[in-house]
Chains A and B, each alone.
Chain A
Amino acid sequence: MGIESVNDIIVGIDLGTTNSEVAIFENGQTRVLTDQQGERILPSFVGITDAGALLVGRPALNQYVANPERTIKSIKRRMGEATRISLGKNSYSPSEISAMILRQLRDTAEAALGQPVRKAVITVPAYFSDAQRQATREAGEIAGLEVMRIINEPTAAALAYEAGHRGSRRVLVYDLGGGTFDVSVVRIEDDVVEVVSSHGNNHLGGDDFDQKIVAHLLDHLKQQGVQVPTTSSAMARIIRCAEAAKRQLSDHVEVQIDEEYLLEYKGRPVHLSLELSRRDYEEMIQPYIDETMAAVHTALNGANMTVAAIDEILLVGGSTRTPMVRERLQEVFGLIPRGEIDPDLCVAMGAAIHAGVMGGSKAAAVLVDVTPYTFGIGVVGMLDGDIRPGVLSPIIRKNTSVPVSRSEIYMTMIDGQERVGIDVYQGEHPDVSYDVQIGSFTVEGLSDVPAGNEIVVQFDLNLDGMLQVTAREKSTGLAKQVTIDNAMTQQEGGKRDVSQSRDQVAALFGQSNKRGTEDNRADSGGSAGTPPRIEVQFETDSVAQQAAALVTKARRLLDQATEADRIEIVDLIDAIQSLLEKGDTDSAALQKPCDQLADILFYLET
């Protein structure tokens, strides 16, 4: 019988583009948890075997070359997008794929700790948008984790470094991961870790470096008249050897790339063989490095600091092993970047420290973080010498400490104005059409007074990046409030049920666990013995679930339908219901009425 712990443990998770880790804080120390193979790093890869079993981590990475079309890498780069990614016979949202990685980490933690794990602090790049953060939170929920807090990666890293250091310093955290880049200026003083400013790019990382080498290798092959198909195992091998070359170039000035029998082209075998020097490689990635250095200066400006004010540089993320990164930073700051904590692990360790603080552990530092974006409303204002609508009036500015409440007073424009529209934006551009609109509402029933009626707009931004907006007529107190929690509603087709995704992911894990035990009982000869029945079961389950969701939606929209549509919808609902009740989950039979219903609903919604 298992032991139920009274204290719910909170784990810290670094959900990375390339690698992910899970750590805990215990007895004043952080510990990165290892899986049964003793590995601390879980490659952020998800795949499906021929037989339909789920693979997460190293096994998925290993099958990548053989089965690139059934393997997903770097899902973090898609977080927050309203897209479906096909994997095997099904398709999943980026949150669902990330949930599979989180679920694996949760299993690792449960096995390592010998107790259930239900709570986590998860890190995201500081420059992640609200939608990306929300997608990450959703991934945690799908994986069966209560996400206690989302914290920023560079901040987590600073926490990990801070543990056990004294004194007051200003630190630049340079975090270059597999897919994202962040830079933060952090002030560490009297055990308070205070982020002063941060900046970054959500689509810049080691993956881009790989792509440059890949393009170089493809060019080389092209010169020999060889075209490599985009989704082939030859392409996957090229990507893999580009990655390997990149790593070697961190320690060597030159690398020999050899891939024999890469593919057969027009009946002859093609071998890839060439040398790549660090110098040539650095020329390829220079534009990216330049971009990161520009961001470093933006962050310094945001902090009102000069290069000379920085006492230390911390390197985070595997891509900071690139010698050019260190050289450039050293050149600009005249400091040797610190790297005594493994750049792959320090984010998870920092997340664990914060989890420890949340769980009530004494020790460790207090964290004060900032918002990386400006939030404001669109107003009539002056832009480029013209008075026009759609001008951003910032209420909470970039690099403001969170949590924070700010309010501004605005005036109505016309006499007897009855209503005022509040459009909420995230972004830095004075013209709102360049910013991201994250919400909108109207306050109606204002007093009949001359123009200049005062409207107080208050923004409350909490630690999770959730924004509450209140607009109030000052004279009467008439108010309207919205909470902007936008990512979920921005998903195409409306909010997807998290519990449904959770069951789906849990089902996949059930499958792979079954496979695991079978393999253990016999020999670990591979996945060939997986019973295909489970896959079929899962397929129909998923169609049945989709059908049920569709019926719910149809009922909701019934009121809006014309009489003719109504009859058709009701008939289709009945048809689907009776199939579901009979347990007739033959997917083809169910699919047809579902498709018809979906078509009608699509019309209704548009």
Chain B
Amino acid sequence: MNPFDVLGLTAEANDAEIRKAYLVRVKEFSPEQHPERFKEIRAAFEAISDQRRRIAYSLFGKETADFPTLLLAVLRREQPHPQPVTKKDWLDLLSSSMKEARFEVPGER
């Protein structure tokens, strides 16, 4: 499910609005009473809690699951030994390359 929908927000929501919506829902669906709902809310919050994450989300959306497979195929051609690569590794790689390229994000300092 789209994290913005889980939190009842539009894609234009800012950090503060996202945090507020998260807190309201956590109070309603606490980890103690509604563990599964909480997991969903927390995952949504973490997916979009700051600008960098929102960019990653808008780039890959929920289809990210197949992304590493795709890139691994590319990587295999260049490396003698295959090694496990996780989705997160790729996101980290991507975000660091964005930083190196001084990728300017509107609204961020």
Residues of A within 8 A of B72 (CB): 411, 452
Residue-wise, chain A 368-386 has the 8 Å CB interface mask toward B (1 for contact) of: 1100000000011110000
Q: Provide the bound-state CA to CA distance between A413 and B72, in Å.
A: 13
Please state if A393 and B30 are interface contacts (CB–CB under 8 Å).
Answer: no
Please state if B26 and A413 are interface contacts (CB–CB under 8 Å).
Answer: no
Q: Is A236 an interface residue (CB 8 A)?
A: no
Residue-wise, chain B 31-49 has the 8 Å CB interface mask toward A (1 for contact) of: 1100100110010000000
Q: Is B13 an interface residue (CB 8 A)?
A: no
Q: Provide the bound-state CA to CA distance between A354 and B30, in Å.
A: 12
- Summarize B's interface: helix, strand, loop or mixed: helix
Please state if A409 and B65 are interface contacts (CB–CB under 8 Å).
Answer: yes
Q: Is B10 an interface residue (CB 8 A)?
A: no
Could you tell me which B residues sit within 8 Å of A by CB distance? 19-20, 23-24, 26-27, 30-32, 35, 38-39, 42, 65, 68-69, 72, 81-84, 86-88
14 extra interchain contacts, Cβ-Cβ under 8 A, other than A369-B31, A379-B84, A403-B35? Answer: A354-B32, A357-B32, A366-B27, A366-B30, A380-B84, A382-B83, A403-B31, A403-B38, A408-B86, A408-B88, A409-B68, A409-B86, A411-B72, A463-B31
Question: In the complex, which of the residues A190, A380, A405 contacts B23, with contact meaning CB atoms closer than 8 Å?
Answer: A190
Most chain A CB within a 10 A radius of its CB, from B27, B31, B39: B31
Interchain nearest-CB distance for A472 vs B (Å): 13
Residues of B within 8 A of A408 (CB): 86-88
Please state if B27 and A463 are interface contacts (CB–CB under 8 Å).
Answer: no
- 12 chain-A/chain-B pairs, Cβ below 8 angstroms: A189-B19, A190-B20, A190-B27, A191-B27, A367-B30, A367-B31, A380-B83, A404-B39, A409-B69, A410-B86, A462-B35, A463-B35
Q: Provide the bound-state CA to CA distance between A189 and B27, in Å.
A: 11
Please state if A368 and B31 are interface contacts (CB–CB under 8 Å).
Answer: yes
Residues of B within 8 A of A463 (CB): 31-32, 35
Residues of B within 8 A of A402 (CB): 31
Q: Is A39 an interface residue (CB 8 A)?
A: no
Q: Provide the bound-state CA to CA distance between A368 and B30, in Å.
A: 8
Please state if B35 and A387 are interface contacts (CB–CB under 8 Å).
Answer: no
Q: Is A401 an interface residue (CB 8 A)?
A: yes
Residues of A within 8 A of B39 (CB): 403-405
A395 nearest CB neighbor, chain B only = B86
Residues of A within 8 A of B65 (CB): 409
Residues of A within 8 A of B82 (CB): 411, 413, 451-452
Q: Provide the bound-state CA to CA distance between A358 and B31, in Å.
A: 11
Q: Is A454 an interface residue (CB 8 A)?
A: yes
Residue-wise, chain A 230-270 has the 8 Å CB interface mask toward B (1 for contact) of: 00000000000000000000000000000000000000000
Residues of A within 8 A of B32 (CB): 149, 354, 357-358, 366-367, 463
The contact size tier of chain A is 20 to 34
Residues of B within 8 A of A380 (CB): 83-84
Question: In the complex, which of the residues A192, A393, A411, A454 contacts B26, with contact meaning CB atoms closer than 8 Å?
Answer: A192
Question: In the complex, which of the residues B24, B26, B42, B68 contacts A404, with contact meaning CB atoms closer than 8 Å?
Answer: B42
Q: Provide the bound-state CA to CA distance between A379 and B85, in Å.
A: 10
Q: Provide the bound-state CA to CA distance between A194 and B35, in Å.
A: 15
Residues of A within 8 A of B27 (CB): 190-192, 366
A408 nearest CB neighbor, chain B only = B86
Interchain nearest-CB distance for B80 vs A (Å): 9
Q: Provide the bound-state CA to CA distance between A402 and B32, in Å.
A: 10
Please state if B84 and A410 are interface contacts (CB–CB under 8 Å).
Answer: yes
Residues of A within 8 A of B38 (CB): 368, 403
Interchain nearest-CB distance for A197 vs B (Å): 14
Q: Provide the bound-state CA to CA distance between A405 and B41, in Å.
A: 12
Residues of B within 8 A of A393 (CB): 84, 86
Q: Provide the bound-state CA to CA distance between A381 and B79, in Å.
A: 13
Residues of A within 8 A of B87 (CB): 408-409
Interchain nearest-CB distance for B27 vs A (Å): 5
Interchain nearest-CB distance for A117 vs B (Å): 20
Most chain A CB within a 10 A radius of its CB, from B19, B32, B38: B32
Residues of A within 8 A of B83 (CB): 379-382, 387
Q: Provide the bound-state CA to CA distance between A245 and B83, in Å.
A: 59
Q: Provide the bound-state CA to CA distance between A500 and B88, in Å.
A: 47
B36 nearest CB neighbor, chain A only = A403
Interchain nearest-CB distance for B24 vs A (Å): 8
Residues of A within 8 A of B88 (CB): 408
**Interface members, chain A 428-480 (any B CB < 8 Å):** 451-452, 454, 462-463
A403 nearest CB neighbor, chain B only = B35
Residues of B within 8 A of A381 (CB): 83-84
Residues of A within 8 A of B84 (CB): 379-381, 393, 410-411
B69 nearest CB neighbor, chain A only = A454
Please state if A192 and B81 are interface contacts (CB–CB under 8 Å).
Answer: no
**Interface members, chain A 116-147 (any B CB < 8 Å):** none
Q: Provide the bound-state CA to CA distance between A114 and B68, in Å.
A: 61
